[in-house]
Amino acid sequence: MDIYVGEIYGKQTTGKFVMYNVVKVSKSVITLQNIDNPLSLFETTSEKLTSSGYIRISQTPYIDLDASTPKRRKATKKPSRCPLTFDFLEDRADSERPTPIMPDLFSA
């Protein structure tokens, strides 16, 4: 599976859906950043990412325009395009949080 910088992956945890930005990709290591807490980073591999239940939500990066503290602004990556750019394929701008893809758990 090919993983690229800027993609967003998510995972259902107990009671909530957590989303992560792909910050860095090397030969074997992928660095993820929590969208809600930009200071939270962790490294994994593509095999562990898929086996742990992470799913790709978006190929368009998420850029938080409301980062209030200097540390949060510093932790976020410099955008390669305007955060207000509307991506009609994703049906959202880069500054808009992606809608989580929730599996229908209750259908019979």
Tell me, yes or no, if the pTM score tops 0.85.
Answer: no
Contact, 38 vs 72, CB < 8 A? yes
Average pLDDT score over residue span 51-57: 88
Average pLDDT score over residue span 36-49: 88
Q: At which residue do the structure tokens 């929590």 appear? A: 34
Q: What is the pLDDT of residue 108?
A: 45
Q: Is the pLDDT of residue 14 over 90?
A: no
Distance of CA 79 to the CA centre of its chain: 14
Residues with Cβ within 8 Å of residue 68, at least 6 apart in sequence:
none
Q: Which two tokens stand for residue 97?
A: 């949080």
Q: Is the pLDDT of residue 72 over 60?
A: no
